[in-house]
Structure 1
Amino acid sequence: MSSDPAGRRVVLWRHGQTAWNLERRFQGTTDIALTAEGVAQARRAAVVLARLRPDAIISSDLCRTADTAAELAAVTGLEVSHDEALRETYAGVWQGLTHEEILEKYGEQYAAWKRGEPVRRGGGELETEVADRAAPAVEQALARLPENGTLIVVSHGGTIRTTIGRMIGLAPGSWEALGGLANCSWSVLGEHERGWRLLEHNAGSLPEPVIGDDT
């Protein structure tokens, strides 16, 4: 799918690769730096995203997102506004554990989460609580945009999923239907008469015009 030229646009961009991504460790709010490849991913993606001529950049204040956002700022000349409301889900004792360790120690909790049940993973935040803090931060930044402006939001996979779910009106139990984002990939929301619409998901290239019955 692709973007519509009318209305405001939000690009939700996941940070570049980290060592914990490679080790399949749950990062959450732990402040983990980008790898050299993560920096290179951010640099390549920034060149592409700059072609959208964004009007503003907001970012989680964790270093993996802040450093990703800095690559786009260097290309566009825009300043980055950092906001802790855009941080990844706090997941308590899950943080730092590998995927296999989580399944071994907290398998029932993990299964309930995957079924769409409200779960405080590791004693941390509910997904709805993440949306409660992240979506308003995005909406506040959007309110400062010019008409038909473009906002780049640099955040984390889980936070992006919950923000998209909240903004397009999906029931929380179905947010998991939105697949994950690869490192330095992004999703695009476009503003329409009936609200926000998901135009691109887990993309790594610029949107193409929609030509067909759904135009």
Structure 2
Amino acid sequence: MSSSGIWQPANDFRRVVFWRHGRTLWNAEQRFQGQADIELDDVGRAQADKAAALLAAVGPARLVSSDLRRAKATAQALADLTGLDISTDPRLRETYAGSWQGLTFEQIADDYPTDLLRWERDDISVRAGGGETRIEVAERMRDGVLEALSGVESGETLIVATHGGAARVAIARLMGLPYEYWGTLSGLSNCNWSVLQETGNARNPGAEGSWKLTEHNAGTLPEPQTEPVED
């Protein structure tokens, strides 16, 4: 256990930290942000600073981020403390949600009740607002994370500044969970994180079952996560 309270395993396996961005005004208003490029609000910037101080203690080796402003600003808080460069990758964005973007979840429930229910149940055939499916998001996230890991050595940690819905399905995909069990993972609170660690099968990191979940929705922020998390 580190002085920050973050568990650090004593082995040579790599780790990936999926770090959700800080709060935005649209988060506070319960709007489906999707890939709309919304900035952090004052609360979100404070959350990023607080979380970054904890994550810096892990000694991350590489920092990658979604190219959306709320994720990049969150990553910047950690870059300022560690001196790491930020690599951005559009594959780490949140779900593209088409006509749902900008709507409150109450509005979506009123106008698209069946599709929203299926979406919330992780039906992989549903396109959010006519946009992406869960599996499409999971696949691009997986590809982006594995590419970023190519520059991370044994025992090192990759930090991925990303989004709630995208992080959840990426974690499920990398662990090899069947689609019907993806809903067993909760979303992440703003600026909380989840940690995947390589297993003994990780000599082939793209293979299912190469990763195990060692922390989920961790952090010191007091607000519990309540749905929605698609941002």
TM-score using structure 2 length = 0.86
Matched AA of 2:133: L
* 1:201 alignment counterpart: 216
Deviations 1:42-85 (A, max 9, x none): 00111100000000000000000000000000000000000001
Work out the CA distance in 1 between the residues paired with 2:108 and 2:137.
20
Higher relative contact order (CA 8 A, sep 6+): 1
Work out the CA distance in 2 between the residues paired with 1:10 and 1:16.
19
* 1:79 alignment counterpart: 85
Q: CA deviation at 1:3?
A: 5.0
Aligned mate of 2:170, from 155, 163, 173: 163
Contact kept, 8 Å, 2:137 with 2:169, in 1: the verdict is yes
Q: CA deviation at 1:5?
A: 2.6
Aligned mate of 1:144, from 151, 165, 170: 151
Gaps of 5+ in 2: 1-5, 202-209, 221-231
* 1:19 alignment counterpart: 25
Deviations 1:120-179 (A, max 9, x none): 011010111011111111111112111111000000001101110110001123212210
Question: Which contiguous aligned blocks of 4+ residues in structure 1 show a shift greater than 3 angstroms?
Answer: none
Work out the CA distance in 2 between the residues paired with 1:13 and 1:64.
12
SS at match of 2:211: strand
Matches within 5 A, 1:177-192: 177-192=184-199
Q: CA deviation at 1:109?
A: 0.5
SS at match of 1:152: strand
Contact kept, 8 Å, 1:19 with 1:34, in 2: the verdict is yes
Aligned mate of 1:37, from 39, 43, 68: 43
* 1:213 alignment counterpart: none
Contact kept, 8 Å, 1:56 with 1:152, in 2: the verdict is yes
Moved more, 114-123 or 159-168: 114-123
Q: CA deviation at 1:2?
A: 5.2
Matched AA of 2:109: L
CA RMSD of aligned residues (A): 1.3
Gaps of 5+ in 1: 206-215
Q: Which has the higher helix share?
A: 1
Contact kept, 8 Å, 2:8 with 2:58, in 1: the verdict is no
